[in-house]
Amino acid sequence: MDGDVGHFVLVPFPAQGHIIPMVDFGRVLAGRGMQVSLITTPFNLSRLQSTVDRIGKSGLSLDFISLKFPGKEVGLPKDCESVDVLPPSSDFERKTDFIVRFFKGVAMLAEPLEAYIRQNQQKNPNIPTIMITDFFNPWTRKISEKIGFPRFVFYSVCCYTLISDRIFSRGDLSGADDAISDLEVPRLTENMFFPLPEFEYMRSEVMDSDESADGILVNTFYELEPMFIERYRKMTGKKIWPVGPVSLCNKEIEDKAVRGSRSLVDDDKILDFLDSMAPKSVVYFSLGSMTMISVIQLKEIGKGLEAAGHPFIWVIRYDPDDPDDPDEVEEWLREDGLEERTKMRSLIIKGWAPQILILSHPSTGAFFTHCGWNSSLEGISFGVPMITWPCFADQFANGRFITEVAKIGVGIGVTEIIFLQNYTVECETIKKAVERMIDDGEEMRKRALDLSEAAKIAFDVGGSSHTNTSLFLQKSLTRVADS
């Protein structure tokens, strides 16, 4: 199959945690000489502009195709084209309603996507189409069946969590399921979807979509979780290719700096800060691209980070619809004086942070994370042990994987979904977790560094993920030839 070229149409679900790894994998495929088109929408494209420009300069054959998002048609305000920018609401039912409308809008991309693919096939009849779709886009199935091209599903979730969710969905909460009875693992029964009736329907759609796919690509690497990968293969009966950690395709500082979006804080300022700190001394605190927390909670985090006495980078996102005054955080930061008091050892980033630029710096010593899988795998890839604070969905299982399976992190004891909990994690808990990790985390750090080494070897030429990508390419191009 050497020398064969396919046109890979990548369809991420519109959320940062889904778009970012798909862009990375698009770079991997384009680097292997494939033609890649990544489907997006105008708002998401504008956020990605710095990444698009970088890729444009690199000469890779990776295009971004922007389809109009039918926000108006599903009753969403302008530019609500990504989960993190859905109208904020402290009312859970209202929030759920927005999410359901959003999923509906995403599924309506089917029509323009089909038109784009047909048009492209007319223009380039000799280049076969192959689709790689996010697992959250089960509606893509109909397009591939109608036109007739191979479709592969992409997960940026580890196999441990995928197994856990499958067992949960079967309703066997004993953990003694046949499929795992010989795996000595902690409670493998976590729901990776939201606990809502609407999502139960989504789960069955996702399962059907996986079932009919030509194979499944997973952003993990074999050496990280061999027994879970094997077990997931067995459970699904599908071809499973672990091809990650895809974030490792970002080799240059500039690629790391613009990944996903550009930060309002200058990269040089962040690097100067990290350069001025001792090796492995800085705590990086971020709860990802979607988690909204209350002003009260934010204050506790600030107090905890300050009290721990170690250098820190704190990424702040807060819910502007919080019942408290939305300007309260700004006001508190100014008036409390935390920023001023800690200025020699802290950097506060409001909004987007260049996460892998920070994690890959030798001064970063701990990652306080919400356990989104991309963040978790990035922590692993750069050898940074973690303090885990899962907030919702797959994050609880990912957190368990970090603390109880890989043993490269400590939890802070949160067991409930952040939107549903009515308690606040106190500053003392945050302080103690930081102290435990920075002062006593040597063993965990060593394990994290070993895994980081294994991740790099897996992703490099000749490593397991690199080989799996070759096998996937072979399979997808052969499947085209066969059809």
User: Which residues contribute to the site for ligand UDP (CB under 6 A)?
Assistant: 15-17, 20, 259-260, 286, 288-290, 315, 352-353, 355-356, 372-375, 378
What is the signed CA dihedral for 85, 88, 94, 99, rounded to 10 degrees? 20
Rounded CA separation 66/50 (Å) = 16
CB 356, min distance to ligand UDP, A: 6
Q: Which of 379, 482, 351, 356 is nearest to 437 (CA)?
A: 379
Q: Which CB sits closer to ligand UDP, 123 or 251?
A: 251
Q: Which of 311, 412, 315 is nearest to 366 (CA)?
A: 311
Q: How many CB atoms lie within 10 A of CB 404?
A: 14
In the three-class reduction of DSSP (H, G, I as helix; E, B as strand; rest coil), residue 8 is classed as strand
Q: Which CB sits closer to ligand UDP, 30 or 287?
A: 287
CB 431, min distance to ligand UDP, A: 23
CB 476, min distance to ligand UDP, A: 25
Q: Which CB sits closer to ligand UDP, 178 or 252?
A: 252
Instruction: Compute the Cα dihedral for 314, 401, 414, 309 and give only its sign.
Output: negative
Contact residues for 384 (Cβ-Cβ < 8 A; gap 6+) = 284, 359, 364, 365, 366, 367, 448
Rounded to the nearest 10 degrees, the angle between the axes of helix 295-308 and helix 427-440 is: 40
Q: Which CB sits closer to ligand UDP, 360 or 476?
A: 360
Rounded CA separation 393/19 (Å) = 17
Q: Which CB sits closer to ligand UDP, 311 or 372?
A: 372
Q: Which CB sits closer to ligand UDP, 149 or 392?
A: 392
CB 477, min distance to ligand UDP, A: 29
CB 321, min distance to ligand UDP, A: 19
CB 372, min distance to ligand UDP, A: 2
- Look-up of token digits 């800690």: 342
